[in-house]
Amino acid sequence: MAEKFDAIVVGGGLSGMGVGALLATGGKKVLVLEQSPYLGGRATSFKYKGFILNIGQHAGLHMGKVDQMMEAVGKPLDDEKDKGFFDEFVIYEDGKYFTMMDKVLVDKPDEAQKLYGALAEIEDKDMSKFDGMTGAEWLAQYVTDPKLRWIAHTNGTVCCTTRKLEDMAASALIESMKVVTRSPITYMLTKGYGSLSQALAEVIKSKGGDVRTRAKVLHVIVEDKKVKGVSVEIGEETPDRTMENIVKIEAPIVATAFPVWDLFRVLDEKLFPADFVKMCRHLDLQVCNIGFSMASKEPLIPEKKFIFADVPQKNDAPLPLTILPTSVVVPPISLEGNHLTEFTCVCEPPFGTDPERIAKTIAEIKEFVNKIFPGWEKKALWIRPFFRWEEPSRSAGRMGKFRPGAKAPGIAGLFFAGDTANSRTVPGLEAAADSAMICANAILGK
Ligand SMILES: Cc1cc2nc3c(=O)[nH]c(=O)nc-3n(C[C@H](O)[C@H](O)[C@H](O)COP(=O)(O)OP(=O)(O)OC[C@H]3O[C@@H](n4cnc5c(N)ncnc54)[C@H](O)[C@@H]3O)c2cc1C
């Protein structure tokens, strides 16, 4: 007899764990299946030489969707205990530091008024108008002042992880400028971002559901255009695997919570309308995170500063660099008596697919950091480079209406969550949490 659940969630990243916990809280018997040995997906953390490392620098926006989701499942994040905040956002340029206040003294205040006035007038329901337009096109309607353009660009690159205004979707830029006005405080988690998924797993289990790792969904079973369950490959892949490793689990509802371009690995694309398939495949343009973590005895930056700088690139847009004094903001992250600083840049394919360019860029970032902190490498106990695919590109034609909604077209019982689906929120953690809430509400009929 096959096992039965009310709902199965495929993927144990932040969005999948969120959907699972929200459904469990809504009274459903839920099973979350994760192919890897750990939970959290791209928002996971691990121990390294006594430090807690996220897989690449991670910072969240305070009072956003992650907070809302954690509250909804009874695991609210405590500002005093769980989070660390930055005191200021500073920009390093030509050997000097500037605050955003220095930068808002633009040459054309009338243009600033026009820009922020236009921003205030855009309501959520109108955002889809800006999904196909670039940030550069939208800004050009209001702004000629290079300083104002620079502010918008900086805001966009930090929140939307897209380097050029000419690529960035206007809706993503608008959303990020609105988010920053609403909620300017960026936070980091004292236990690492993987702790979110661990807390969500506790919720699911406490409500009679289950969370299984090393459980790869091979197929979502669909009969007569209705979801019936999944087939799952359980355990490590070994050469002597038999059919016993593949089991069927039944459920009338399946939510996939991984990037939609991977959907057709578990579902036959012929089940979907052709334009939906095209949409999912078009979204497969990812941005990457490239950088390194550094351990030292003394903190490289003793203050709680979020430092932003542009790493110059020849014949190309600069790489936006953020430098975070992680252990100063969240001390429990580092080995006692030590400090952790994280440096990261956003880059894009084809840039991010060339190993030589990756190595060269890491060297260039290190050299650039030497201008800000001369001799910094000598202070390092260790430096650990990272390179990770971060999230779907928020470029024009890939945001909002160009992404799938929570409900699959034409298949009853199939739903989507994840940072490629149904949310226009920025940045990625916020989008993953928002998509989880939208997906769970669609399933629960809220
Ligand atoms: C280096 C880095 C830095 C980042 N920095 C930030 C930041 O500072 N701020 C921010 O907001 N966001 C940041 N992000 C983005 C954020 O982490 C992601 O947007 C978010 O975690 C995505 O969550 P998700 O659940 O949608 O997808 P994922 O985390 O990708 O989860 C999908 C899960 O599904 C599993 N899966 C896939 N197929 C199957 C299958 N067939 N069967 C079972 N399981 C399957 C995968 O193994 C994975 O665990 C960063 C990401 C990276 C990588």
Residue 163 belongs to a domain = yes
Cα(147)–Cα(106) distance, integer angstroms: 6
pLDDT in tens, the chain (446 residues): 889 999 999 999 999 999 999 999 999 999 999 999 999 999 999 999 999 999 988 999 887 999 999 999 999 999 999 999 999 889 999 999 988 778 776 778 888 889 989 999 999 899 999 999 999 999 999 999 888 898 899 888 888 888 899 999 999 999 988 887 776 678 999 999 999 999 999 999 999 999 999 999 999 999 999 999 999 999 877 777 777 889 999 999 999 999 999 999 999 999 999 999 999 999 999 999 999 999 999 999 999 999 999 999 877 788 999 999 999 999 999 999 999 999 999 988 877 788 998 999 999 999 999 999 999 999 999 999 999 999 999 999 999 999 999 999 999 999 999 999 989 998 999 999 999 999 999 999 98
Cα(165)–Cα(293) distance, integer angstroms: 28
Q: How far, in Å, is the centroid of ligand 1 from the Cα of 210?
A: 20
Q: Are residues 252 and 31 in contact, defined by beta-carbon separation less than 8 angstroms?
A: no
| Domain shared by 255 and 213, yes or no | yes
Q: How far, in Å, is the centroid of ligand 1 from the Cα of 66?
A: 14
Residue 297 belongs to a domain = yes
Amino acid occupying residue 245? N
Provide the number of structural domains found in the chain: 3
Tell me the pairing of strands 226-234 and 246-250: antiparallel
| Domain shared by 258 and 383, yes or no | no
Ligand 1 pocket, CB under 6 A: 10-16, 33-36, 41-43, 55-60, 216-217, 257-258, 262, 266, 289, 388, 390-391, 418-419, 427-430, 432
Cα(413)–Cα(255) distance, integer angstroms: 8
Residue 50 belongs to a domain = yes
Last residue of a domain, one of 375, 392, 409: 392
Q: Are residues 286 and 392 in contact, defined by beta-carbon separation less than 8 angstroms?
A: yes
Give, in order, the Cα–Cα distances in Å from 292 to each of 219, 263, 427: 37, 32, 20
| Domain shared by 64 and 156, yes or no | no
Last residue of a domain, one of 369, 392, 415: 392
| Domain shared by 387 and 290, yes or no | yes
Last residue of a domain, one of 160, 182, 204: 182
Domain that holds residue 320: 286-392
Residue 440 belongs to a domain = yes
Pinpoint the alpha helices (H) of 208-354: 274-282, 326-329
Residue 240 belongs to a domain = yes
Residue 225 belongs to a domain = yes
Residue 315 belongs to a domain = yes
Amino acid occupying residue 386? F
CATH code of the domain containing 258 = 3.50.50.60
Residue 147 belongs to a domain = yes
Record the pTM. 0.96
What atom in ligand 1 is closest to the CA of residue 15? 25
Indicate which residue's Cα is closest to atom 53 of ligand 1: 390
